[in-house]
Amino acid sequence: MFADRELAGRLEGAEVASVKEYVEAVQRIWPGVGAAAQRVGDGVAVFAGRGSPVNRVYGLGMREPVQEQDLEQTEAFFVDRGETCRVDLCPLADESLQTWAMARGYSVQQFKNVWWRELDQDDALPSPGARFFIAETLMDQAQLWAGTVSAGFEGVHGPVDGDRLFLPNVYKRNTICFLAWEGVGPPAGATASILLSPGRGPAGGGALAIHDGVAICFSTSVRPAMRRMGVQSALLRARLAWAARSGCDLATVSTTPGAASQRNIERSGFRLAYTKPTLIRAY
């Protein structure tokens, strides 16, 4: 398998499905936020609340040429909600997306590396001698998972609103959230209050979304005190095993170019599919 348009279509299609389910989860948890997902062309415009980093257009131009009215519709969607219009540009999308974006004054805001690897039955095997116990997050641990992942990101990106950004993932369809515990498992009745007990909370967390045979590993973070101990690698291996046992043939991860997590991704056999810019239109 090569990193061609067919592969990109599967990766981008899985992301579109996942982000739509994220919006559905936000709508169920916080109906007053006004979360919405609207089709534009062959993509989807997503709004998950004011200022959410999820707010943007996904999958545009992957199956058909983009028309100028697609971007006009996109811009109206975000202007109506008081948000800046952002559009993810897959480099394997139809070239009409880039043409119209340039004509309408879009510029690059940031980049994201999209990684991929094939899965086989060997990935489903357990890791021998693992130091960390990786467990599926229970519903009564939703706040614990969101707080754990938030704590890991705060050490890298500054203050993070964990509830607002991460909590919906626990309630998403086709998504499983995981916590990493040092030793054989979590303490009995582990809930969010355990984060206040030094040395007793989970080491880190991550999520896995599955769509049409594609496993998306995302929202992975390690608490600052537990870094450089193999937590991230353990979380990744556990999710790949889960995905392989679930019948997935592909796995994908997205990272900021040059991020420290990129080393673990490449060591685990992931290859770079493409670098995807996020375009922004200033008004």
Mean pLDDT in each 10-residue stretch from start to end of the chain (283 residues)? 93 98 97 96 96 96 96 96 96 97 95 96 74 90 92 63 85 96 65 53 94 97 87 94 96 92 90 97 77
Token pair, residue 129, equals: 């001698």
Which residue in 186, 265, 257, 182 sits closest to 220, CA to CA? 265
Helix (H) or strand (E) holding 209: strand 204-211
Q: The domain 121-248 is classified under which CATH number: 1.10.10.10, 3.40.630.30, 3.40.30.10, 3.10.450.350?
A: 3.40.630.30
Per-residue burial over 16-38, b = 16 or more CB atoms within 10 Å of its CB, e = otherwise: bbbbbbbbbbbbebbeebebebe
In which order are the strands placed within the sheet that holds 85-88? 36-40, 43-47, 56-58, 85-88, 271-281, 106-118, 250-255, 214-222, 204-211, 175-182, 132-136
Query: Which among 82, 126, 116, 167 has a CA at the least distance from the CA of 270?
Result: 116
Beta-bridged to residue 209, according to DSSP, are 175, 216
Q: Please give the pLDDT value at position 200.
A: 64
The CA distance from 43 to 64, in Å, is 10
Nearest by Cα to 103 from 129, 59, 152, 67:
67
Q: How many Cα atoms are found within 13 Å in the side-chain-facing hemisphere of 48?
A: 25
How far does CA 229 lie from the centroid of its chain? 23
User: Residues spanned by CATH 3.40.630.30 within the chain?
Assistant: 121-248
pLDDT at 125: 76
pTM: 0.91
